[in-house]
Amino acid sequence: MFRRTSVRFEGKHCTLNLLKKHVCQAVEDELQNEVKDINATDDDYLEASTRLWERFYSCCEQYHVKTSHPSGLFILAALDGICIIKKNSFSLLRPCDTLEHLMLAGDHVEANAIIYQHFAENEILGKDLLALVNLLTQIEKWLPEDVKIDFDRKLYQLEKSNVLIEKFVGEFLADDTDKGLLSNNFLVIIRQKLISISDIRNAISLLFDILRMDNGNPEFMQTHDHLGRSKRVLNSLGALFGSQIGLSVLSETVRQNTLIRFALCRNWLLLQQILISTQSLPLEVLKTLKTQFMPGIITFLQSYYVMV
């Protein structure tokens, strides 16, 4: 189709808008060639146009699949990363931090391995933290996508997150099944998971510290602390990530990490409001949630939203 068109251009200097123009022109030229010798009706014209565009999309898909097929693998040992080499591009795989791993793995987390690596001196606290994050992950699965999009949109419109959460929780707890946004037994599941947490206050406090941005990642949660002790490694990393590709890798890593933490903060704020509204915890714990953790998690939520 493109070979028959009269349009000629240099691909490496072609902008997206110019490419779009060339594609439309090529399809239009092909369409005119098909209908020029017949008395085509509107239906014939639409049928031919649809067929040509479908053929174009099919060719694009075939090219995409072909160029996306991995052709090599390169281990980035110093970064604990992997580079997948493709025909016209490459992909970088990086290790997840602990919160990312817990959130993404969900019910498939190897709890014993996490506890052994990070909580060998306090296994009970480690189990409590894993149970709490697992509950937040479950809330992520429960939330409909339109609710998440609506929440993001209203944050963009500078509405207060605590007011939004109160409204959403009111809808979640609505007796009217037409308005109920979660399954009918979600409160039962939440209470069952809370029972498995021996000290909810310490678990929440630990998660609060992990989510803090001013102190960095807590030492006991770090998985690559050996890198920070080598000046030579830091210098080489600075040179590596100072390139355009390196900056892109860093920015995308921060974005992915921030998305996970934003979701955790949103779900945590939602969980806290549910617990407060349903009086599901002792009064002294609920008071701590309101006065100590609620203001902080709102700040975390807004900060991570800005970073996203």
The answer as to whether 7 is a domain residue is no
**Do 43 and 106 sit in the same domain of this protein?**
no
The answer as to whether 58 is a domain residue is no
**Do 155 and 36 sit in the same domain of this protein?**
no
Give the amino acid at 182: L
> Tell me, what's the pLDDT at 230?
52
**Do 100 and 46 sit in the same domain of this protein?**
no
What percent of the chain is modeled with pLDDT above 90? Answer: 9
Transcribe 142-194 into DSSP letters.
HS-HHHHHHHHHHHHTT--HHHHHHHHHHHHT-SSTTT--S-TTHHHHHHHHH
The answer as to whether 300 is a domain residue is yes
State phi, psi for 144 to the nearest 5 degrees: -65, 150
> Tell me, what's the pLDDT at 91?
87
pLDDT digit string (tens) for 177-224?
A: 444 456 567 788 888 888 888 888 888 888 888 888 665 555 555 555
The answer as to whether 91 is a domain residue is no
Helix (H) / strand (E) element for 83: namely strand 81-85
Q: What share of the chain is helix, strand, coil (3-state, %, to 5)?
A: 70, 5, 25
Helix (H) / strand (E) element for 91: namely strand 90-93
**Do 46 and 149 sit in the same domain of this protein?**
no
Using a 10 angstrom Cβ sphere, with 0-12 exposed, 13-18 middle and 19 or more buried, the burial of residue 35 is middle
**Do 139 and 262 sit in the same domain of this protein?**
yes
**Do 162 and 22 sit in the same domain of this protein?**
no
**Do 142 and 226 sit in the same domain of this protein?**
yes
Query: How many domains is the chain built from?
Result: 2
The answer as to whether 166 is a domain residue is yes
Name the residue range of residue 42's domain: 15-51
How far is Cα 264 from Cα 267, in angstroms, rounded to an integer?
5
How far is Cα 7 from Cα 28, in angstroms, rounded to an integer?
12
pLDDT digit string (tens) for 108-117?
A: 888 888 887 7
**Do 122 and 236 sit in the same domain of this protein?**
yes
**Do 132 and 191 sit in the same domain of this protein?**
yes
The answer as to whether 67 is a domain residue is no
**Do 224 and 110 sit in the same domain of this protein?**
yes
> Tell me, what's the pLDDT at 178?
47
CB 154 within 8 A of CB 164: yes
pLDDT-based confidence at residue 153 (cuts at 50, 70, 90): very high
**Do 149 and 41 sit in the same domain of this protein?**
no
3-state SS assignment for residue 46: helix
The answer as to whether 80 is a domain residue is no
**Do 185 and 299 sit in the same domain of this protein?**
yes
The answer as to whether 10 is a domain residue is no
- Enter the DSSP assignment of 291: I
